[in-house]
Amino acid sequence: VGFRWSTRAKLDELGLQGTATNRDDGTVVVEACGDNGALDVLEGWLCGPQVPGAVSRVRVSRTGNEPGY
């Protein structure tokens, strides 16, 4: 379905650094770092109807000492 490819393209479009990686259990982990506003847009895109594939759950965890992690 191109989920990882599309997610990486969205990261680039939003000026975020990050990855979209398959896990052994079939889930995909998206890690992103950058501007909080861009991270909000990414989260909305991941939860929205435009994302390719079937997303059943999005869990967000913002960590790090600097805003935008």
Dihedral (CA of 21, 55, 25, 43) sign = positive
Read off the pLDDT of each residue in 54-65 and give the average, rounded to a whole number.
80
Neighbours of 65 (CB within 10 A): 5
Look-up of token digits 């995909």: 28
pLDDT tens digits, one per residue of 7-57: 999 999 999 999 999 999 988 899 999 999 999 999 999 999 988 888 888
Q: Tokens standing for 34?
A: 């950058």
Q: Tokens standing for 4?
A: 């990882």
Q: Is the pLDDT of residue 65 over 60?
A: no
- Just list the catalytic residues: 4, 22
Instruction: Kindly report whether the global pTM for this prediction surpasses the value 0.85.
Output: no
Residue 68 confidence (pLDDT): 54
Q: Is residue 25 a contact partner of residue 32, using CB atoms and an 8 Å limit? A: no
Question: Which one is predicted more confidently, 29 or 63?
Answer: 29
How far, in whole angstroms, is CA 65 from its chain's centroid?
Answer: 20
